[in-house]
Structure 1
Amino acid sequence: MTALRFWLVTAAATTGIAVTFALGQWQLGRAHQKEALQQAIEAARTSPPLPQDAMLRPDALSLVHRPVRLRGRWDAAHTVFLDNRQMGARVGFYVVTPLLLEGSDRAVLVQRGFAPRNFERREQLPPVRTPDGAVDVAGRIAPPPSRLYQPGPPSTGPIRQNLDIDAFAAETGLKLLPVSVQQTGAASEGLSRDWPVTGGRGPETNYGYAVQWWALSALIACLYAWFQFIQPRRRAR
Structure 2
Amino acid sequence: MTRRQRPVGLLFWLIALAAVVGMLVTASLGRWQLSRAAEKEALQATLDARGSLPPVDGKALLAASADEGGDPTKALVHRAVVLEGRWLPTHTIYLDNRQMQGRPGFFVVTPLQLESQDGVVLVQRGWVPRNFQDRTQLPQVQTPEGVVRVQGRVALAPSRLYEFQGGDSAQGSSRIRQNLDLAAFRTETGLAFADLTVLQTGKTDAMGEGLQRDWPVVGAGVDKHYGYAFQWFGLSGLIAILYVWFQIVRRFIRPRSQSAP
TM over 0.5: yes
- Specify the alignment match of 1:207 in structure 2: 226
**Are 2:197 and 1:180 equivalent residues in the alignment?**
yes
Deviates more, 1:153-162 or 1:166-175: 153-162
Equivalent residues of 2:59, 2:117 under 8 A apart: no
Correspondences of 1:82-231 after superposition (within 5 Å): 82-155=95-168, 156=171, 157-187=174-204, 188-199=208-219, 202-231=221-250
Aligned-residue offset at 1:167: 0.8
Specify whether residues 86 and 71 from structure 1 end up closer, same or farther in structure 2 by C-alpha distance, changes over 3 A only. same
The one of 10, 17, 25 aligned to 1:19: 25
Larger Rg: 2
- Per the alignment, in what secondary structure is the counterpart of residue 178 of structure 1? coil
The number of aligned residues is: 236
Structure 1's unaligned 5+ residue stretches are none
Specify whether residues 161 and 199 from structure 1 end up closer, same or farther in structure 2 by C-alpha distance, changes over 3 A only. farther
Structure 2 distance, partners of 1:198, 1:147, is 18
Aligned residue type for 1:11: L
Equivalent residues of 1:45, 1:67 under 8 A apart: yes
Aligned-residue offset at 1:199: 4.4
Aligned-residue offset at 1:94: 0.6
Equivalent residues of 1:45, 1:65 under 8 A apart: yes
Aligned-residue offset at 1:198: 3.4
- Per the alignment, in what secondary structure is the counterpart of residue 176 of structure 1? coil
Aligned residue type for 2:25: V
Deviates more, 1:147-156 or 1:219-228: 147-156
Aligned-residue offset at 1:6: 2.4
Aligned-residue offset at 1:71: 1.1
The one of 46, 57, 62 aligned to 2:52: 46
Aligned residue type for 1:195: W
- Per the alignment, in what secondary structure is the counterpart of residue 2 of structure 1? coil
Structure 1 distance, partners of 2:125, 2:200, is 5
Q: Deviations along 1:170-191, whole A, 9 cap, x unmatched?
A: 1111111111011111111010
Equivalent residues of 2:81, 2:153 under 8 A apart: yes
Aligned-residue offset at 1:104: 2.3
The one of 83, 86, 110 aligned to 1:73: 86
Structure 2's unaligned 5+ residue stretches are 1-6
Q: CA RMSD in A?
A: 1.6
Aligned-residue offset at 1:120: 1.6
Q: Runs in 1 of length 4+ with deviation above 3 angstroms?
A: none
Structure 2 distance, partners of 1:114, 1:42, is 25
TM-score, normalised to structure 1, is 0.94
Aligned-residue offset at 1:195: 0.6
